[in-house]
């Protein structure tokens, strides 16, 4: 039997519908909608596409979008001043800087530190990561939180399971490991220096691949019946020259072995944007005393 798809597109649509109703009620009550500000620098086509998707999603659920597009030669000081202004703007509840930043003259980490943690829509400020570490309420990293929402929505039990996270980035690997641990999974973090990766993953009930290497996870690395979460998004060349998107998992081979699997595209990526909007509404609600 092929694995059941963990359909991020369907789940995100369900979330948008619920958020639309919530935003309408809150906007009526407080006289303004939640607001999300996205700062983009340069003309990276992939970044531009991501920003357009975020703006469309905001429009769909009724969130005000305050996108700002800067030229490649914008200075660090100009961006920091913009963030400081957004921190004090009562119309704005979420702020994010679209990565990657072009050139070597901009420091993304320093910009992140300038964002008010209560408006950190990406959930990547050290204050919010520290709250995750301590098990305290806070804005959570969007992609890892999206993975947890998928597991919850499909009634996949995490407690008592062995989970292997491949990747140790601060964006996905480390936060998802902490989230799984908080749900009482036994978690192993594997990475590029892990010897005999297949031996590690073969024991896992849940495999999360988040390294950005096409088809890294092959059929012989997956235990029959395991849940496989593919966070990777990689564009590989095709004869047409347009390329196509694949994940870190060899989907065609692993689908017949796993019990559940996320597709690429249409899986975790869809949930990332949904959780970004969720964080914005959550920040709005907290700032206005709703939660």
The radius of gyration of the chain from alpha carbons, rounded to an integer in Å, stands at 19
161 is catalytic: no
Q: How far apart are CA 213 and CA 25, in angstroms?
A: 43
Q: Return the SS3 of 53.
A: helix
Is the preceding peptide bond at 76 cis, omega within 30 degrees of 0?
no
Paired residues of 64 in beta bridges: 35
| Contacts for 35 with CB less than 8 Å, ≥ 6 apart | 63, 64, 65, 66, 89, 91, 92, 93, 94, 280, 284
- Report yes or no: 63 and 23 within 8 Å, Cβ to Cβ: yes
225 is annotated as contributing to ligand binding:
no
Given 22, 54, 205, 248, the catalytic residue: 54
Q: How far apart are CA 275 and CA 291, in angstroms?
A: 17
189 is annotated as contributing to ligand binding:
no
Q: How far apart are CA 228 and CA 16, in angstroms?
A: 25
Given 93, 120, 122, 230, the catalytic residue: 122
What burial class does residue 243 get, using C-beta atoms within 10 Å of its C-beta: 0-12 exposed, 13-18 middle, 19+ buried? Answer: exposed
Q: How far apart are CA 166 and CA 177, in angstroms?
A: 10
Give me the residue label for tokens 């070597």: 104
Given 98, 174, 223, 230, the catalytic residue: 98
205 is catalytic: no
- Comparing C-alpha atoms, which of 175, 227, 179 is closest to residue 204? 227
98 is catalytic: yes
- Report yes or no: 200 and 223 within 8 Å, Cβ to Cβ: no
Cα four-point dihedral sign 208, 211, 214, 215? negative
- Report yes or no: 132 and 161 within 8 Å, Cβ to Cβ: no
233 is annotated as contributing to ligand binding:
yes
Residue stretches of the annotated binding site: 167-169, 233
Residue stretches of the annotated binding site for NADP(+): 167-169, 233
> Which sequence positions are flagged as catalytic?
54, 98, 122
């Amino acid at each position: 039997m092929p694995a059941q798809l963990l359909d991020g597109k369907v789940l995100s649509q369900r979330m948008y519908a619920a958020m639309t109703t919530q935003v309408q009620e809150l906007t009526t009550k407080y006289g303004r909608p939640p607001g999300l500000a996205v700062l983009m620098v340069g003309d990276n086509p992939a970044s531009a596409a991501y920003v357009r998707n975020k703006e469309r999603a905001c429009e769909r659920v009724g969130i005000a979008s305050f996108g700002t597009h800067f030229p490649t030669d914008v200075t660090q000081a100009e961006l920091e001043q913009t963030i400081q202004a957004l921190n004090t703007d009562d119309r704005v509840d979420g702020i994010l800087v679209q990565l990657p930043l072009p050139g070597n003259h901009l420091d993304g980490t320093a910009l992140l530190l300038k964002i008010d943690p209560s408006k950190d829509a990406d959930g990547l400020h050290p204050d919010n990561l520290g709250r995750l570490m301590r098990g305290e309420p806070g804005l959570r990293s969007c992609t890892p939180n999206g993975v947890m929402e998928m597991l919850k929505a499909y009634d996949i039990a995490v407690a008592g399971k062995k989970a292997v996270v491949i990747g140790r980035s601060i964006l996905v690997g480390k936060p998802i490991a902490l989230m799984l641990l908080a749900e009482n999974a036994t978690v192993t973090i594997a990475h590029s220096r892990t010897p005999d990766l297949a031996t590690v993953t073969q024991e896992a009930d849940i495999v999360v691949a988040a390294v950005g290497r096409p088809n890294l996870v092959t059929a012989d690395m997956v235990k029959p019946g395991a849940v496989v979460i593919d966070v990777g998004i990689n564009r590989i060349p095709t004869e047409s020259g347009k390329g196509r998107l694949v994940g870190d998992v060899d989907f065609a081979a692993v689908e017949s072995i796993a019990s559940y699997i996320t597709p690429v595209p249409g899986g975790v990526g869809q949930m990332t944007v949904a959780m970004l909007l969720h964080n914005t509404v959550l920040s709005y609600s907290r700032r206005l005393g709703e939660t």
